[in-house]
Amino acid sequence: MRMPRLALTLPALLAAIALVATAALWTVTDAGAASKPAAKAARKPVAHAASSYMTGLGDESPEMFSDADAQQLKTRIARYIAPYDAVAHSYSLDKAKAWIRYAEGQHMQILVAFYHSEYSPTRLPSVAQYKHDVEKFIRRFPRVHQYQAWDESNRGNIRGVLASPSASATAQYYQALIRVCKGCTAVGLDVLDANDIAPTLQYISEFKREIGKLRTVMPKIWGLHNYSDINRFESWRTRELSHALGGQIWLTETGGIVQFGGAFTNRNGSGLRRAAKVVSYMFNVAASQRQIARLYIYNWLGGNTRTRFDAGLTDNHHRPRPGYLIVCKHLHAAKCNVKTTSH
C-alpha cells in the first residue's frame, strides 16, 4: 500500500495527510465493524498436501537488499511499484534504477507494478501515453520480465490527491502492456480486498467484460492484496475473490498490519504482537488455497509511532520485529534467534 510522493509543496504535504486518512477508510475499516454471513464465519485454514507457493518481499527501498536479516531469508522474488512515467522523471528513474540494480545483483525475479505518476497523481494517462511511457521503462530495464498494469487499480479516487483507473481503463492499460512487452509475464488485474468485497467483485466483473470487448488475451495470473481478510484472521474474502478472478493467484501485497489509524493500533507494542500472529495466519491461508502460487510480504522497512500505515517486518531503524521471526522460521533460515524490538 504505497503512498504517493507529494512532498514538493506545503499543500502537497497536506494532501498526503488527506490521502492516508482517506485510504484508511477505504481499505480497512474499523476492525470491529466487519460483518459476514454465518456461512462465512472464520475458521482455521487447512493446508493442502500439494500446496506450494513462493514467498517474496515488496518494498520500494533498495536498502532492503543490503540488510543481513533480509539476505538470510534467501527469497528469490521481489516486487517494486514504479510510476508509469518513471523514465520521464529523473527522481523516479533513479529510484527504480537503484532498486532494480540491487535486486538483479541478488538474482531476484523482479515484478514491477506500475502506478500513478509521482508528479501528477490525480491525472490518469491516456492509453497512448501509458503505452509510450511503459514501453520506455521496459526498454530501459530489459532483464525485467514480470509486470502488472496498475497497482491496486480498484483503490478508488481521493479528490485532490490521487486518481485510480476504472475497470475499463485498467483493461486497456493491460492490453497496452502485453502489446509492448511480448514474452513478458503480465499479471492481470491487481485488486485490494477491503472489508466489503462487493465493490471489488463488481470491479473484477467489469474488467473481464472489457477484456472481452477488446478481444484481448484474458489474464492467467491475477494479483490480490488481502490485508482486510487476514488481519481479521479470516480467509473467506481471499477465497471468494480468488474464485472470481480465476486462474493463478499472486498475493502481490499481504502481511500483518502493525499500525493503521484507529482500526489497528500499536499501543505498548500490541500491534507488533498482533502483526506477527497475522503473518503466521497469512502462511496458513496461502497453503490452504491451491490457486495461490506466490505471496509478496509488504513491506520490509516499517515506520515510527507517527506512521499511519505500517506493516514493516523491521522498524524504521532496521531492527527486526516479531513478525520477522515468523517469516525467518517459516523459510528455514539459519539464524532466527535475532533480538526483536518490542515497541
Q: Label residue 306 by pLDDT band (50, 70, 90).
A: confident
Residue showing cell 524504521: 316
Residue-wise pLDDT tens digits, 223-250: 999 999 999 999 999 999 999 999 999 9
According to the model, what pLDDT value does residue 153 have?
97
**Does residue 140 carry a pLDDT above 70?**
yes
- Measure CA 28 to chain center: 14
Report which of 315, 278, 336 is spatially closest to residue 45, judged by C-alpha positions. Answer: 278
Looking only at the bridges linking them, the beta strands covering 292-298 and 309-310 are unpaired
Q: Are 75 and 55 in contact (CB under 8 A)?
A: yes
Report which of 141, 2, 97, 143 is spatially closest to residue 59, judged by C-alpha positions. Answer: 2
**Does residue 23 carry a pLDDT above 90?**
no
Q: Are 17 and 132 in contact (CB under 8 A)?
A: no
Residue 62 identity (one-letter amino acid): P
**Does residue 283 carry a pLDDT above 90?**
yes
Q: Which three cell numbers stand for residue 13?
A: 504535504
Residue-wise pLDDT tens digits, 160-211: 999 999 999 999 999 999 999 999 999 999 999 999 999 999 999 999 999 9
Q: Which residues pair with 250 in a beta bridge?
A: 223, 294
Q: Are 248 and 220 in contact (CB under 8 A)?
A: yes
Q: Label residue 2 by pLDDT band (50, 70, 90).
A: low
Looking only at the bridges linking them, the beta strands covering 221-225 and 259-260 are unpaired
Residue 210 identity (one-letter amino acid): E
Q: Are 32 and 50 in contact (CB under 8 A)?
A: no
According to the model, what pLDDT value does residue 48 have?
61
Residue-wise pLDDT tens digits, 313-326: 999 999 999 999 99
Mean pLDDT, rounded, of the chain:
89
Model confidence, pTM: 0.89
CA distance 54 to 45: 18
Give 185-202 as a DSSP string: EEE--EEE--SS-HHHHH
CA distance 228 to 225: 8
